[in-house]
Amino acid sequence: MLINGTTEAAFEQVRAAFAENFAHRGETGGALCVTVGGRVVVDLWGGWMSRSAAERWRPDTLVNFFSVGKGLMALLAARLAGDRRLDVDAAVTRYWPEFGAAGKEAITVRHLLTHQAGLPAIRRTLPPGAMLNWRLMTSELAGHPPWWPPGTAHGYHVNTFGFLSARCFGARLA
């Protein structure tokens, strides 16, 4: 498999592991970029954009990585909490005042992170493309009542987690 890109000498094992994904783990295509101290030390891409092998993976190939973002947001929340810049037991309104409407005053950051906020989706039909509209989605979620009393049940917040968590504590990353 053709692997493109660069790897600093100290990170050649990363290149080997990346290639291993194609050779022995059935990977079709992918990319990896690693920075250390603000410097790019690995920038690799290879394989195909689809199983049909019609088009090679490029360094600018776009990918929808679905729920991987949830783990990344949880990692960021843990880092912020460890630095005492985020209190996971605080009400979301501490960080996002507008969120306190429609019976959501007591929802905590922990409820958001554990999918217990009662906001797995918006009940009304939204216009086409709404999921790509940050302002629309965060406004809808701020004004939307929870589906169940927060903290009493779990429901995978598949399409709302990113908006809820990023709006709640994303600004604290700066």
Q: Which tens digits make up the pLDDT trace of 117-141? A: 999 999 999 999 999 899 999 999 9
Parent domain of 77: 68-173
For residues 79 and 161, membership in a common domain is answered with yes
Q: Look at the block and give the residue holding tokens 């049940």.
A: 153
Average pLDDT of the chain, as a whole number: 93
Residue 64 confidence class, pLDDT cut points 50, 70, 90: confident
For residues 27 and 112, membership in a common domain is answered with no
Residue 173 confidence class, pLDDT cut points 50, 70, 90: low
Q: Residue 54: inside a domain, yes or no?
A: no
For residues 89 and 140, membership in a common domain is answered with yes
For residues 135 and 166, membership in a common domain is answered with yes
- Which active-site residues does the annotation give? 67
For residues 24 and 99, membership in a common domain is answered with no
Which of 71, 70, 23 has the alpha carbon at shortest distance from 46? 23
In this prediction, residues 71-95 reach a mean pLDDT of 94
- Name the more confident of 1 and 13: 13
Which of 154, 158, 159 has the alpha carbon at shortest distance from 117? 154
Q: In terms of DSSP bridges, do strands 29-36 and 3-7 run parallel, antiparallel, or are they unpaired?
A: unpaired
- Name the more confident of 169 and 83: 83
For residues 77 and 35, membership in a common domain is answered with no
CB 38 within 8 A of CB 65: no
What is the number of domains present in the chain?
2
For residues 38 and 72, membership in a common domain is answered with no
